[in-house]
Amino acid sequence: MTTNELLLAVETSCDETSVAVVRGGREILTNLISSQIETHEQFGGVVPEIASRKHVETITVIMEQALKEAKVSLRDISAIAVTQGPGLVGSLLVGIVAAKSLAMAYDLPLIGTHHIAGHIYANQLVHELVYPSIALVVSGGHTELVVLEREGMFRIIGRTRDDAVGEAYDKVARALRFPYPGGPYIDRLAQEAEEEIVLPRAWLEQDSYDFSFSGLKSAVLAVINQAKMRGETPMRSALALGFQRSVIDVLVEKALRAVHAEGARQLLLCGGVAANRGLRAALAARCESEGVPLLIPPLSLCTDNAAMIGAAAHLKWKRGEFTSLDMKAEPTFSLEEWSVRV
Ligand code: KG4
Ligand code: ZN
């Protein structure tokens, strides 16, 4: 079934305030993103209190601007979609209160949406999805392997046991004295590297699809400390390459193993770390050689944005699954429970 509804989507789960207007879950009329990175950069990470305050300052302005750019009025909107979780509770609340107010004032349905479902369905804004498929979610807060049995049905088969990939990137970058968020710096440095400091791979138990990155992060810190004790400066690019290769090897191997074991017809890569050039290239090469179609959203849809929330909320709109106006922010929202009912 196709529908042509207009969703006003709101995303404030971390440090981006974003509002989008999406038609039929696929067509982006506008997708405005106001990033707070410059504010948090000086603290070396996201400060939750400041993030909430910044969302409050920005949300109404960006909502008005989004409607204006999309050339629609609130009377044209079919429903309001908002990230319900997971994320920082204070940040989520700002978007939720704004969305609820509009839903109430204009008598519109509300769709509380799962942030990771958003990252996954960002792919639907640019690609045709077929099922079953596997999604590899790699972001600052998440590292998950998800089976999509059919549209909107999520089953998590692997997750990180400690740090998320993006988090590990940011921590390693910080140890190498790069600003927050450090992922892109490590990626760039790894591309330029001529040597590699080979680091261990955390495969875990033989059949496990889980991940662990904290041991690798500690291995990087140990190399840096040993260099310092010898009075040397650590070889940043060789370390960046060693770290990146270790991360990528494990991600690629487990993702492809899951694709074959689940009989998946596609592999979807999503989340902020999908911007990583090394990961994109390694996955593309492996998928090509094994005949697996690989879908990756454009970079602007990989990092947090509201259009992806509109794309995921569309699944619920189609089925008339709306959220009650007394819904709460869910900092640890379960993706599997957010699956569509029918
Ligand atoms: O999905 P996202 O925008 O926010 C979360 O929902 O977490 O992901 C942000 C994460 C940060 O940790 C950032 O360092 C990482 O994505 N990232 C990268 C790259 N670009 C962004 N990590 C590695 N290589 C990159 N090129
Ligand atoms: Zn995200």
Q: Mean pLDDT for each consecutive 10-residue tract of the chain (342 residues)?
A: 90 93 98 83 80 86 96 97 96 97 97 98 97 97 96 98 96 93 96 96 95 96 94 92 98 98 98 95 98 96 96 98 97 97 84
Q: What is the pLDDT of residue 286?
A: 98
92 Cα to the center of ligand 2, angstroms? 12
Q: Supply 268's token pair.
A: 């979807």
Residue 42 confidence (pLDDT): 76
Predicted pLDDT of residue 57: 87
- Topology of domain 6-121+301-338, per CATH? Nucleotidyltransferase; domain 5 (3.30.420)
pLDDT score at 16: 87
CB 77 within 8 A of CB 69: no
Ligand 1 centroid to 55 CA: how many Å? Answer: 20
Task: State the Cα–Cα distance between residues 86 and 144, nearest whole angstrom.
Answer: 14
217 vs 169: CA distance, rounded Å:
8
What is the best residue among 139, 176, 216, 296 to mutate for testing ligand 1's pocket, by most ligand atoms within 8 Å of CB? 139
| Alpha-carbon distance values, 316 to 48, 122, 151 (Å) | 29, 15, 11
Among 165, 273, 280, the mutation site with the greatest number of ligand 1 atoms within 8 A of its Cβ is 273
| Spatial CB neighbours of 237, under 8 Å, sequence gap ≥ 6 | 189, 190, 192, 193, 194, 195
pLDDT given at position 1: 66
Q: Phi first, then psi: what are they for 85, rounded to 5°? A: 165, 175
Where are the domains positioned within the chain? 6-121+301-338, 130-296
The tokens for 108 are: 């519109």
Q: Whose CA is nearest to atom 10 of ligand 1?
A: 140
Which-ligand-closest: CA of 178?
Answer: 1
For residue 271, the ligand closest to its alpha carbon is 1
Closest CA to 245 of 272, 216, 224, 222: 216
Q: Report CA(303)–ligand 1 centroid distance (Å).
A: 7
pLDDT for the residue numbered 38: 78
Q: What is the atom index within ligand 1 of the atom nearest the CA of 138?
A: 1
Residues with CB under 6 A from ligand 1: 14, 139-141, 166, 169-170, 181-184, 187, 271-273, 275-276, 303-304
Q: What pLDDT score does 275 carry?
A: 93
CA of 25 to the centre of ligand 2 (A): 18
What is the best residue among 303, 304, 309, 335 to mutate for testing ligand 1's pocket, by most ligand atoms within 8 Å of CB?
A: 303
pTM: 0.95
Compute the radius of gyration of the chain from its Cα atoms. Answer: 20
Q: Is 33 left (phi over 0), alpha (psi -120 to 50) or beta?
A: beta
Ligand 1: centre distance to CA 50 (Å): 20
State in Å: Cα 91 to ligand 2 middle.
Answer: 13
**130-296 matches 6-121+301-338 in CATH topology:** yes
Measured CA to CA, the distance from residue 196 to residue 194 in angstroms comes to: 7
Q: Which atom of ligand 1 is nearest to the CA of 188?
A: 26
Distance in Å, CA 324 to ligand 1 centroid: 32
**CA distance linking residue 171 with residue 182, whole number of Å:** 8
Smallest Cα–Cα separation from 183: which of 142, 244, 224?
Answer: 244
Cβ–Cβ under 8 Å, residues 272 and 303? yes
Q: How far is CA 22 from each of CA 72, 77, 94, 104, 208, rounded to the nearest angstrom? A: 11, 10, 21, 20, 38
User: Atom 23 (ligand 1): residue with closest C-alpha?
Assistant: 183
What CATH code is assigned to 130-296?
3.30.420.40
